[in-house]
Protein backbone atom coordinates (compact mmCIF):
# COMPACT_ATOMS: atom_id res chain seq x y z
CA UNK A 1 0.00 0.00 0.00
CA UNK A 2 1.28 3.46 -0.85
CA UNK A 3 2.04 5.34 2.34
CA UNK A 4 0.03 8.45 3.12
CA UNK A 5 3.17 10.61 3.16
CA UNK A 6 4.26 9.45 -0.32
CA UNK A 7 0.71 9.67 -1.63
CA UNK A 8 0.31 13.27 -0.50
CA UNK A 9 3.73 14.21 -1.84
CA UNK A 10 2.94 12.69 -5.26
CA UNK A 11 -0.49 14.31 -5.42
CA UNK A 12 0.89 17.69 -4.41
CA UNK A 13 3.45 17.50 -7.21
CA UNK A 14 0.74 16.69 -9.73
CA UNK A 15 -1.36 19.59 -8.46
CA UNK A 16 1.42 22.19 -8.42
CA UNK A 17 0.40 25.42 -10.07
CA UNK A 18 -3.35 24.83 -9.79
CA UNK A 19 -5.31 27.67 -8.23
CA UNK A 20 -8.01 26.93 -5.66
CA UNK A 21 -11.12 29.05 -5.19
CA UNK A 22 -11.57 29.50 -1.42
CA UNK A 23 -15.35 29.46 -1.79
CA UNK A 24 -16.08 26.64 -4.17
CA UNK A 25 -14.21 23.84 -5.85
CA UNK A 26 -15.95 21.76 -8.49
CA UNK A 27 -14.50 18.39 -7.61
CA UNK A 28 -14.46 15.85 -10.38
CA UNK A 29 -13.98 12.10 -10.29
CA UNK A 30 -10.93 10.87 -8.45
CA UNK A 31 -7.80 9.97 -10.42
CA UNK A 32 -6.20 8.25 -7.45
CA UNK A 33 -5.08 4.68 -8.04
CA UNK A 34 -6.94 1.94 -6.22
CA UNK A 35 -3.95 1.11 -3.98
CA UNK A 36 -3.53 4.71 -2.77
CA UNK A 37 -5.67 4.41 0.31
CA UNK A 38 -6.63 7.07 2.84
CA UNK A 39 -7.58 5.64 6.22
CA UNK A 40 -10.54 7.25 7.95
CA UNK A 41 -12.02 6.96 11.42
CA UNK A 42 -15.39 8.20 12.65
CA UNK A 43 -16.09 9.41 16.19
CA UNK A 44 -19.84 9.57 16.85
CA UNK A 45 -21.62 7.14 14.56
CA UNK A 46 -25.23 8.35 14.70
CA UNK A 47 -26.87 10.98 12.49
CA UNK A 48 -24.66 13.20 10.36
CA UNK A 49 -21.48 11.49 11.49
CA UNK A 50 -22.41 8.35 9.59
CA UNK A 51 -23.80 10.42 6.73
CA UNK A 52 -20.38 12.06 6.43
CA UNK A 53 -18.63 8.69 6.50
CA UNK A 54 -20.96 7.43 3.76
CA UNK A 55 -20.00 10.37 1.56
CA UNK A 56 -16.28 9.72 2.13
CA UNK A 57 -16.66 6.04 1.27
CA UNK A 58 -18.10 6.97 -2.13
CA UNK A 59 -14.49 7.83 -3.01
CA UNK A 60 -12.53 4.67 -3.87
CA UNK A 61 -9.31 5.82 -2.21
CA UNK A 62 -10.98 6.03 1.24
CA UNK A 63 -11.12 3.08 3.63
CA UNK A 64 -12.81 3.08 7.04
CA UNK A 65 -10.30 1.82 9.58
CA UNK A 66 -12.15 2.45 12.85
CA UNK A 67 -15.38 3.61 14.47
CA UNK A 68 -15.85 5.02 17.96
CA UNK A 69 -19.11 5.57 19.83
CA UNK A 70 -20.12 5.55 23.50
CA UNK A 71 -23.24 3.53 22.66
CA UNK A 72 -22.25 -0.06 21.93
CA UNK A 73 -25.58 -0.74 20.24
CA UNK A 74 -25.01 2.08 17.77
CA UNK A 75 -21.38 1.07 17.30
CA UNK A 76 -22.19 -2.52 16.30
CA UNK A 77 -25.07 -1.52 14.05
CA UNK A 78 -23.04 1.11 12.20
CA UNK A 79 -20.07 -1.22 11.86
CA UNK A 80 -22.32 -3.62 9.94
CA UNK A 81 -23.60 -0.79 7.75
CA UNK A 82 -20.06 0.45 7.08
CA UNK A 83 -19.01 -3.06 6.01
CA UNK A 84 -21.80 -3.05 3.40
CA UNK A 85 -20.57 0.30 2.10
CA UNK A 86 -17.09 -1.23 1.76
CA UNK A 87 -18.41 -4.22 -0.21
CA UNK A 88 -18.19 -6.57 2.75
CA UNK A 89 -14.84 -5.39 4.14
CA UNK A 90 -15.26 -5.18 7.91
CA UNK A 91 -14.20 -2.18 9.95
CA UNK A 92 -11.09 -3.46 11.71
CA UNK A 93 -11.35 -1.53 14.97
CA UNK A 94 -14.34 -0.55 17.14
CA UNK A 95 -13.84 1.65 20.18
CA UNK A 96 -15.95 3.16 22.93
CA UNK A 97 -13.09 5.48 23.87
CA UNK A 98 -12.49 7.92 21.02
CA UNK A 99 -8.90 8.51 22.14
CA UNK A 100 -7.92 5.03 20.99
CA UNK A 101 -9.19 5.83 17.51
CA UNK A 102 -7.11 9.00 17.31
CA UNK A 103 -4.02 7.08 18.44
CA UNK A 104 -4.38 4.61 15.56
CA UNK A 105 -1.41 5.00 13.21
CA UNK A 106 -3.27 4.01 10.03
CA UNK A 107 -5.93 6.71 10.34
CA UNK A 108 -5.29 9.79 8.22
CA UNK A 109 -8.65 11.59 8.57
CA UNK A 110 -10.83 11.80 11.67
CA UNK A 111 -14.52 12.62 11.30
CA UNK A 112 -15.85 14.33 14.42
CA UNK A 113 -19.59 13.56 14.40
CA UNK A 114 -20.24 13.85 18.13
CA UNK A 115 -22.52 16.34 19.96
CA UNK A 116 -21.28 19.93 19.92
CA UNK A 117 -19.80 19.90 23.43
CA UNK A 118 -17.22 17.30 22.35
CA UNK A 119 -15.97 18.93 19.15
CA UNK A 120 -13.19 21.02 20.67
CA UNK A 121 -11.42 18.32 22.65
CA UNK A 122 -11.62 15.78 19.84
CA UNK A 123 -10.53 18.12 17.06
CA UNK A 124 -7.58 19.44 19.06
CA UNK A 125 -6.48 15.90 19.97
CA UNK A 126 -6.73 14.82 16.33
CA UNK A 127 -4.63 17.77 15.20
CA UNK A 128 -2.02 17.04 17.87
CA UNK A 129 -1.84 13.48 16.55
CA UNK A 130 -1.18 14.76 13.02
CA UNK A 131 -4.59 13.83 11.59
CA UNK A 132 -6.65 15.87 9.18
CA UNK A 133 -10.21 16.47 10.37
CA UNK A 134 -13.74 16.69 9.03
CA UNK A 135 -15.73 18.25 11.90
CA UNK A 136 -19.49 18.50 12.04
CA UNK A 137 -21.05 21.91 12.51
CA UNK A 138 -21.24 24.03 14.56
CA UNK A 139 -17.48 23.91 14.97
CA UNK A 140 -17.48 24.74 18.69
CA UNK A 141 -19.88 25.18 21.57
CA UNK A 142 -18.37 28.46 22.79
CA UNK A 143 -16.38 31.35 21.39
CA UNK A 144 -13.16 30.37 23.17
CA UNK A 145 -13.46 26.78 21.95
CA UNK A 146 -13.50 28.09 18.38
CA UNK A 147 -10.40 30.19 19.04
CA UNK A 148 -8.35 27.28 20.41
CA UNK A 149 -9.45 25.02 17.57
CA UNK A 150 -8.12 27.50 15.01
CA UNK A 151 -4.79 27.63 16.83
CA UNK A 152 -4.55 23.83 16.89
CA UNK A 153 -5.16 23.48 13.15
CA UNK A 154 -2.61 26.19 12.41
CA UNK A 155 0.05 24.87 14.78
CA UNK A 156 -0.12 21.30 13.51
CA UNK A 157 -0.80 22.22 9.85
CA UNK A 158 -3.95 20.13 9.66
CA UNK A 159 -6.46 20.33 6.83
CA UNK A 160 -9.84 20.85 8.48
CA UNK A 161 -13.19 20.92 6.73
CA UNK A 162 -16.28 21.96 8.74
CA UNK A 163 -19.57 20.25 7.85
CA UNK A 164 -21.22 23.35 6.37
CA UNK A 165 -21.70 21.51 3.08
CA UNK A 166 -23.77 24.28 1.50
CA UNK A 167 -20.39 25.93 0.91
CA UNK A 168 -19.83 23.32 -1.80
CA UNK A 169 -23.33 23.38 -3.33
CA UNK A 170 -23.28 25.05 -6.81
CA UNK A 171 -26.60 26.90 -6.74
CA UNK A 172 -25.61 28.78 -3.57
CA UNK A 173 -22.55 30.08 -5.39
CA UNK A 174 -24.73 31.21 -8.30
CA UNK A 175 -27.08 33.03 -5.93
CA UNK A 176 -24.19 34.86 -4.25
CA UNK A 177 -22.82 35.93 -7.63
CA UNK A 178 -26.18 37.54 -8.39
CA UNK A 179 -26.23 39.30 -5.01
CA UNK A 180 -22.73 40.63 -5.65
CA UNK A 181 -23.72 41.85 -9.13
CA UNK A 182 -25.53 44.85 -7.62
CA UNK A 183 -28.72 44.22 -9.61
CA UNK A 184 -30.84 44.09 -6.45
CA UNK A 185 -29.90 47.70 -5.66
CA UNK A 186 -29.06 48.75 -2.15
CA UNK A 187 -29.78 45.88 0.23
CA UNK A 188 -31.33 47.15 3.44
CA UNK A 189 -31.76 43.87 5.27
CA UNK A 190 -31.12 40.16 4.99
CA UNK A 191 -33.87 37.98 6.38
CA UNK A 192 -32.54 34.64 7.57
CA UNK A 193 -35.10 32.12 8.75
CA UNK A 194 -35.45 28.52 9.87
CA UNK A 195 -38.95 27.29 10.63
CA UNK A 196 -38.88 23.60 11.41
CA UNK A 197 -42.38 22.16 11.51
CA UNK A 198 -41.04 18.60 11.47
CA UNK A 199 -39.37 19.22 14.83
CA UNK A 200 -41.97 18.58 17.54
CA UNK A 201 -42.12 19.49 21.18
CA UNK A 202 -40.15 17.19 23.49
CA UNK A 203 -42.29 16.05 26.42
CA UNK A 204 -40.74 15.97 29.88
CA UNK A 205 -39.40 12.50 30.72
CA UNK A 206 -38.13 11.16 34.04
CA UNK A 207 -34.47 10.37 34.66
CA UNK A 208 -33.69 6.68 34.36
CA UNK A 209 -30.84 4.16 34.64
CA UNK A 210 -28.18 4.33 31.97
CA UNK A 211 -29.10 1.94 29.11
CA UNK A 212 -27.04 -1.22 28.79
CA UNK A 213 -24.05 -0.78 26.52
CA UNK A 214 -23.80 3.01 26.96
CA UNK A 215 -20.75 4.69 28.52
CA UNK A 216 -22.69 7.65 29.84
CA UNK A 217 -19.81 9.27 31.72
CA UNK A 218 -17.87 9.41 28.46
CA UNK A 219 -20.93 10.78 26.67
CA UNK A 220 -21.09 13.65 29.19
CA UNK A 221 -17.36 14.25 28.92
CA UNK A 222 -16.61 17.88 29.80
CA UNK A 223 -20.30 18.75 30.30
CA UNK A 224 -21.81 18.99 33.81
CA UNK A 225 -22.74 15.83 35.66
CA UNK A 226 -26.43 15.04 35.14
CA UNK A 227 -28.59 11.95 35.67
CA UNK A 228 -29.26 10.04 32.47
CA UNK A 229 -32.31 11.35 30.61
CA UNK A 230 -33.28 10.28 27.08
CA UNK A 231 -34.18 13.85 26.18
CA UNK A 232 -30.53 14.83 26.57
CA UNK A 233 -29.22 11.87 24.61
CA UNK A 234 -28.67 11.33 20.88
CA UNK A 235 -30.50 13.76 18.55
CA UNK A 236 -32.30 15.92 21.13
CA UNK A 237 -29.11 16.93 22.93
CA UNK A 238 -29.15 20.06 20.74
CA UNK A 239 -31.99 21.64 22.79
CA UNK A 240 -29.94 21.81 26.01
CA UNK A 241 -27.40 24.51 26.84
CA UNK A 242 -24.92 22.03 28.35
CA UNK A 243 -24.27 20.49 24.95
CA UNK A 244 -25.40 22.86 22.18
CA UNK A 245 -27.14 26.12 21.26
CA UNK A 246 -30.54 25.15 19.86
CA UNK A 247 -31.71 26.09 16.38
CA UNK A 248 -29.63 29.30 16.52
CA UNK A 249 -26.41 27.31 16.16
CA UNK A 250 -27.79 24.14 14.55
CA UNK A 251 -29.22 25.86 11.45
CA UNK A 252 -27.79 29.32 12.00
CA UNK A 253 -24.27 28.33 11.01
CA UNK A 254 -25.55 27.17 7.61
CA UNK A 255 -27.75 30.15 6.82
CA UNK A 256 -26.15 33.10 8.60
CA UNK A 257 -22.90 32.10 6.92
CA UNK A 258 -24.42 33.04 3.57
CA UNK A 259 -25.83 36.30 4.90
CA UNK A 260 -22.29 37.38 5.80
CA UNK A 261 -20.84 36.02 2.57
CA UNK A 262 -23.46 37.78 0.45
CA UNK A 263 -22.94 41.11 2.19
CA UNK A 264 -19.13 40.84 2.44
CA UNK A 265 -19.12 41.59 6.16
CA UNK A 266 -17.79 40.03 9.35
CA UNK A 267 -18.48 41.69 12.72
CA UNK A 268 -21.76 43.49 13.53
CA UNK A 269 -21.97 46.82 15.31
CA UNK A 270 -24.53 45.49 17.78
CA UNK A 271 -26.59 42.39 18.56
CA UNK A 272 -29.96 42.07 20.28
CA UNK A 273 -32.39 39.17 20.56
CA UNK A 274 -35.86 38.36 21.79
CA UNK A 275 -37.80 35.14 22.04
CA UNK A 276 -38.52 32.27 24.37
CA UNK A 277 -40.42 29.05 24.91
CA UNK A 278 -43.64 30.48 23.50
CA UNK A 279 -44.95 27.46 21.60
CA UNK A 280 -44.09 24.79 24.16
CA UNK A 281 -43.56 26.53 27.52
CA UNK A 282 -43.79 23.33 29.55
CA UNK A 283 -41.78 20.89 27.46
CA UNK A 284 -38.27 19.62 28.21
CA UNK A 285 -36.26 21.92 25.90
CA UNK A 286 -34.07 24.65 27.41
CA UNK A 287 -33.32 26.54 24.18
CA UNK A 288 -36.05 28.85 22.79
CA UNK A 289 -38.63 27.49 20.37
CA UNK A 290 -38.98 30.98 18.88
CA UNK A 291 -36.20 33.53 18.53
CA UNK A 292 -35.51 36.71 16.59
CA UNK A 293 -32.01 38.18 16.57
CA UNK A 294 -31.00 41.44 14.91
CA UNK A 295 -27.38 42.03 13.94
CA UNK A 296 -26.84 45.67 12.98
CA UNK A 297 -24.18 46.59 10.44
CA UNK A 298 -23.32 49.88 8.75
CA UNK A 299 -26.35 50.57 6.53
CA UNK A 300 -28.26 47.30 6.89
CA UNK A 301 -29.32 44.57 9.28
CA UNK A 302 -29.21 40.80 9.31
CA UNK A 303 -32.35 39.39 10.96
CA UNK A 304 -32.39 35.81 12.24
CA UNK A 305 -35.84 34.28 12.83
CA UNK A 306 -36.54 30.71 13.94
CA UNK A 307 -39.44 28.65 15.17
CA UNK A 308 -39.98 24.99 16.04
CA UNK A 309 -43.27 23.30 15.16
CA UNK A 310 -44.16 25.83 12.41
CA UNK A 311 -43.27 25.47 8.74
CA UNK A 312 -43.91 28.83 7.04
CA UNK A 313 -40.83 30.94 7.60
CA UNK A 314 -41.32 33.29 4.66
CA UNK A 315 -41.60 33.33 0.86
CA UNK A 316 -43.45 30.01 1.13
CA UNK A 317 -40.36 28.26 2.44
CA UNK A 318 -39.36 26.56 5.67
CA UNK A 319 -35.82 27.97 5.64
CA UNK A 320 -33.64 30.30 3.64
CA UNK A 321 -32.44 33.85 3.14
CA UNK A 322 -34.05 36.90 1.60
CA UNK A 323 -31.64 39.61 0.42
CA UNK A 324 -34.06 42.55 0.40
CA UNK A 325 -32.91 45.15 -2.12
CA UNK A 326 -34.56 48.30 -3.40
CA UNK A 327 -35.03 46.70 -6.83
CA UNK A 328 -35.93 43.20 -5.73
CA UNK A 329 -35.40 40.40 -3.25
CA UNK A 330 -33.27 37.34 -3.90
CA UNK A 331 -34.54 34.29 -2.00
CA UNK A 332 -32.37 31.19 -1.66
CA UNK A 333 -32.71 27.89 0.17
CA UNK A 334 -31.50 24.33 -0.33
CA UNK A 335 -33.88 23.76 -3.24
CA UNK A 336 -32.78 26.73 -5.36
CA UNK A 337 -32.96 30.52 -5.71
CA UNK A 338 -35.12 33.16 -7.40
CA UNK A 339 -35.53 36.93 -7.57
CA UNK A 340 -38.83 38.63 -6.73
CA UNK A 341 -39.01 42.13 -8.27
CA UNK A 342 -39.94 45.13 -6.16
CA UNK A 343 -43.12 46.69 -7.55
CA UNK A 344 -43.73 50.43 -6.97
CA UNK A 345 -46.87 52.12 -8.32
CA UNK A 346 -47.51 49.08 -10.48
CA UNK A 347 -44.06 49.12 -12.08
CA UNK A 348 -41.48 46.43 -11.44
CA UNK A 349 -38.01 47.79 -10.79
CA UNK A 350 -36.25 44.77 -12.28
CA UNK A 351 -37.01 41.56 -14.12
CA UNK A 352 -38.02 38.54 -12.16
CA UNK A 353 -35.61 35.61 -12.11
CA UNK A 354 -37.52 32.31 -12.02
CA UNK A 355 -36.53 29.54 -9.65
CA UNK A 356 -33.07 28.20 -10.39
CA UNK A 357 -33.21 24.74 -8.88
CA UNK A 358 -30.43 22.95 -7.08
CA UNK A 359 -28.36 21.09 -9.64
CA UNK A 360 -25.41 18.78 -9.99
CA UNK A 361 -24.03 16.38 -7.41
CA UNK A 362 -25.20 16.84 -3.83
CA UNK A 363 -23.47 19.39 -1.67
CA UNK A 364 -22.21 16.87 0.88
CA UNK A 365 -20.52 14.71 -1.75
CA UNK A 366 -18.86 17.75 -3.29
CA UNK A 367 -17.84 18.98 0.16
CA UNK A 368 -16.07 15.70 0.89
CA UNK A 369 -14.36 15.73 -2.51
CA UNK A 370 -13.17 19.26 -1.81
CA UNK A 371 -11.71 18.10 1.50
CA UNK A 372 -9.91 15.18 -0.11
CA UNK A 373 -8.48 17.44 -2.81
CA UNK A 374 -7.21 19.89 -0.20
CA UNK A 375 -5.62 17.03 1.72
CA UNK A 376 -3.84 15.85 -1.44
CA UNK A 377 -2.41 19.31 -2.10
CA UNK A 378 -2.02 20.26 1.59
CA UNK A 379 -4.13 23.34 0.96
CA UNK A 380 -5.78 24.34 4.25
CA UNK A 381 -8.16 26.73 2.48
CA UNK A 382 -11.08 24.29 2.17
CA UNK A 383 -14.54 25.46 1.08
CA UNK A 384 -15.55 25.51 4.76
CA UNK A 385 -12.16 25.93 6.39
CA UNK A 386 -11.74 26.01 10.13
CA UNK A 387 -11.55 29.80 9.96
CA UNK A 388 -14.90 29.98 8.15
CA UNK A 389 -16.49 27.47 10.51
CA UNK A 390 -15.16 29.22 13.61
CA UNK A 391 -16.30 32.65 12.49
CA UNK A 392 -19.91 31.66 11.88
CA UNK A 393 -20.07 29.49 15.00
CA UNK A 394 -18.99 32.50 17.03
CA UNK A 395 -21.41 34.76 15.15
CA UNK A 396 -24.29 32.43 16.07
CA UNK A 397 -23.09 32.34 19.67
CA UNK A 398 -23.37 36.14 19.76
CA UNK A 399 -27.10 35.80 19.08
CA UNK A 400 -27.57 33.24 21.84
CA UNK A 401 -25.63 35.36 24.32
CA UNK A 402 -27.77 38.39 23.50
CA UNK A 403 -30.86 36.26 24.10
CA UNK A 404 -29.62 34.80 27.37
CA UNK A 405 -28.61 38.17 28.80
CA UNK A 406 -31.58 40.10 27.41
CA UNK A 407 -29.22 42.92 26.48
CA UNK A 408 -28.25 44.85 23.40
CA UNK A 409 -24.57 43.97 23.09
CA UNK A 410 -21.54 45.25 21.26
CA UNK A 411 -18.64 42.98 20.39
CA UNK A 412 -15.02 43.92 19.64
CA UNK A 413 -13.88 40.44 18.62
CA UNK A 414 -12.64 39.51 22.09
CA UNK A 415 -15.07 40.89 24.65
CA UNK A 416 -18.52 42.39 25.15
CA UNK A 417 -17.10 44.54 27.97
CA UNK A 418 -20.10 43.33 29.94
CA UNK A 419 -19.38 40.94 32.81
CA UNK A 420 -22.64 39.00 32.44
CA UNK A 421 -22.19 38.50 28.69
CA UNK A 422 -18.46 37.73 28.93
CA UNK A 423 -19.03 34.77 31.21
CA UNK A 424 -20.59 32.98 28.23
CA UNK A 425 -17.37 33.23 26.20
CA UNK A 426 -16.10 29.89 27.42
CA UNK A 427 -17.32 26.66 28.99
CA UNK A 428 -16.20 25.31 32.34
CA UNK A 429 -15.06 21.71 31.79
CA UNK A 430 -15.94 18.92 34.21
CA UNK A 431 -12.96 17.10 35.70
CA UNK A 432 -10.95 15.20 34.70
CA UNK A 433 -11.38 16.93 31.33
CA UNK A 434 -9.60 20.26 31.00
CA UNK A 435 -9.93 23.03 28.45
CA UNK A 436 -7.19 22.45 25.85
CA UNK A 437 -4.23 24.80 25.71
CA UNK A 438 -2.59 25.40 22.35
**pLDDT score recorded for residue 122:** 98
Q: Is residue 413 predicted with pLDDT exceeding 60?
A: yes
Q: Give pLDDT, residue 150.
A: 98
Q: What is the pLDDT of residues 99-135, one digit of tens each?
A: 999 999 999 999 999 999 999 999 999 999 999 999 9
SS3 letters across 239-291 = HCCCCCCHHHHHCHHHHHHHHHHHHCCCCCCEEEEEEECCCCCCCCCCCCCEE
pLDDT value, residue 241: 97
* Reported confidence tier of residue 247, pLDDT bands at 50, 70, 90: very high
pLDDT band at 4, cuts 50/70/90?
very low
> Measured between alpha carbons, how far is 258 from 298 in angstroms, rounded to an integer?
18
Average pLDDT over residues 169-178: 96
Q: What is the pLDDT of residue 199?
A: 83
Q: pLDDT of 217-235, one tens digit each?
A: 999 999 999 999 999 998 9
Does residue 32 register a pLDDT over 70? no
Q: If pLDDT is split at 50, 70 and 90, which confidence band does 17 have? A: very low
Q: What is the CA radius of gyration of the chain?
A: 22
pLDDT score for 19? 28
Nearest to 289 by CA among 398, 197, 223, 206: 197
Q: Is the pLDDT of residue 279 over 80?
A: yes
Predicted local confidence at residue 71, as pLDDT:
96
Top pLDDT among 35 and 360 is at 360
Can you tell me the mean pLDDT for 288-297?
98
pTM of full prediction above 0.95 = no
Q: Is the pLDDT of residue 240 over 80?
A: yes
Tens digits of residue pLDDT in 295-354: 999 999 999 999 999 998 999 999 999 999 999 999 999 999 999 999 998 899 999 999
pLDDT of residue 373: 97
pLDDT in tens, 343-376: 998 899 999 999 999 887 889 999 999 999 999 9
Mean pLDDT for the stretch of residues 269-283? 96
Question: Is the model's pLDDT at 5 over the cut of 90?
Answer: no
Amino acid sequence: MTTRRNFIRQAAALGAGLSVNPFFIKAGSSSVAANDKIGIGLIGCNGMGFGDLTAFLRNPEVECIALADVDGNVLNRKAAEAAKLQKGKKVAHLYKDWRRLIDHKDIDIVIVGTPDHWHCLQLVAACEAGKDVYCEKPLGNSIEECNVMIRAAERYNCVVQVGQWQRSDPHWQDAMAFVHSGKLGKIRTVRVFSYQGWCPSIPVKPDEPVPQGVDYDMWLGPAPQRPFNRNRFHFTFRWFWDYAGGLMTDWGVHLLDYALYGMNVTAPGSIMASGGKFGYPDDACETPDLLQTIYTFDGFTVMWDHAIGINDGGYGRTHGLGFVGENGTLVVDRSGWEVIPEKVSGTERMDAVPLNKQYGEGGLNLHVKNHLECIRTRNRNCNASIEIGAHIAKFSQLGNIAYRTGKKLTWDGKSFHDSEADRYLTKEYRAPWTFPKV
